Structure 1
Amino acid sequence: MIHYTAMESAEAALERLCDPQAEVSAHYLIGADGTLWQLVQEAERAWHAGAGSWRGQGDVNSRSIGIELDNRGDHPFSEPQMTCLEALLHGVMRRWDIAPEGVIGHSDMAPGRKSDPGPRFDWARLALRGLAAPVGRGDAPEVVCAASFRDRAQVAGYTAEVDEAALLEAVRLRYRPGARGPLEVADFTVLG
């Protein structure tokens, strides 16, 4: 699971992630300069996900590897950081037999509660390298309605119990970050 730190520096994030009083942790932190820190062993539980679900599974902390990226969420992720993330994801996916569809953002499993890694994160880049699910090429629905959108989103993995607005925002953060306005056909087709 990919996050952004929303802090001023990697050092500040490192301090917080290593502070037992903060009750938050992650397996990895990647600085904007590409520096990689491993904070928790991959087989151990880290406290990075919180409430939510993905593919019908709750307790995401127990079944995921958290990767924090040094970014406030308001600017693009740096080239050294993305290069490091790609190498890390390649190894993690191989070691744990994770398919590209299993690489998610915090906003995917916690719609309405979390927005990281945010609209500036380059999901398309990861998808081109086989490190994240690509944008779908699904059929257009006969009727554009919230119930059929929820059905399609659940098949794609979005199973957290949230309202329609939060669900639409989460799907758009991942697949259509510039989209605004009411539900439309393109919101269905990106899910495949």
Structure 2
Amino acid sequence: MDEQQALWIPSNNYFPKRVGHRPRWIIVHGTAGFTSAEEVGNYFQQADVSTHYTIGRDGVIVQSVREHDGAWGNGGVTEGHDHWWSRSLNPNNVTISIEHVKPHRDNSDELTDIQKLVSFQLIQRICDRHQIPKRKADASGGITGHSSMDPVHRSFCPGPYPWDELFAFLSCPSTLK
């Protein structure tokens, strides 16, 4: 596993070795259902979908795919996507995906305080491991929501996320620990 404190619930739904690509973006997701990270991890063992990580409302982290592999979490790139995504490149091979448990199907749930802190810390460590820019995504990399590449089918993903607080944490992480 890549995260020492994560619970490993592996999924077989991944692209081995990212087909030669490296991660440049972190994609933030909301689960649009489910009540725990473990429940999502178990679902990823049965369904044709996965993400690298799921963060529960209690702060539990489940890892389902190793970071050196591409998870099956992003689907395709749809009309209206941010300009740096290309339909000719599978976005799963250049991203690390993090689900956040949100029980409501419309992803309207706010993150819990512990979920938010764990998310910020995980994102920071992933950025450090892969030299992903610790800022809002652009063509060079960074952090964004699933709706960035799929505004047609995932306009509600991740739902409310404290972006300003995340970027403040990443620019000065010692102030919020």
TM-score w.r.t. length of structure 2: 0.67
More strand by share: 2
Q: Identify the match of residue 98 of structure 1 among 112, 117, 132.
A: 132
Q: Identify the match of residue 85 of structure 2 among 40, 56, 59.
A: 56
Task: Report the aligned-residue RMSD.
Answer: 1.6
How far the C-alpha of 1:37 sits from its partner, in A, is: 1.1
How far the C-alpha of 1:130 sits from its partner, in A, is: 3.0
Unaligned runs of 5+ in 2: 1-26, 172-177
Q: Deviations over 1:34-77 (max 9, x none)?
A: 00111110001110000116513331111101101111312211
% identical equivalent positions: 29
- 1:2 matches 2:28: yes
More helix by share: 1
Partners of 2:85 and 2:39 in 1: how far apart? 34
- 1:69 matches 2:100: yes
Unaligned runs of 5+ in 1: 132-192
What corresponds to 2:40 in structure 1?
13
Match runs of 1:71-150 below 5 Å:
71=102, 72=104, 73-99=107-133, 100=135, 101=137, 102-114=142-154, 115-118=156-159, 120-130=160-170
Task: State the secondary structure of the residue aligned to 1:95.
Answer: helix
Task: State the secondary structure of the residue aligned to 1:18.
Answer: helix
TM-score w.r.t. length of structure 1: 0.62
Task: State the secondary structure of the residue aligned to 1:76.
Answer: coil
Preserved CA contact (<8 Å) 2:29 2:98: yes
Please say which structure displays the higher CA radius of gyration.
1
Preserved CA contact (<8 Å) 2:85 2:149: no
Partners of 1:32 and 1:89 in 2: how far apart? 16
Task: State the secondary structure of the residue aligned to 1:104.
Answer: strand
Task: Tell me the matched-pair count.
Answer: 128
Task: State the secondary structure of the residue aligned to 2:75.
Answer: coil
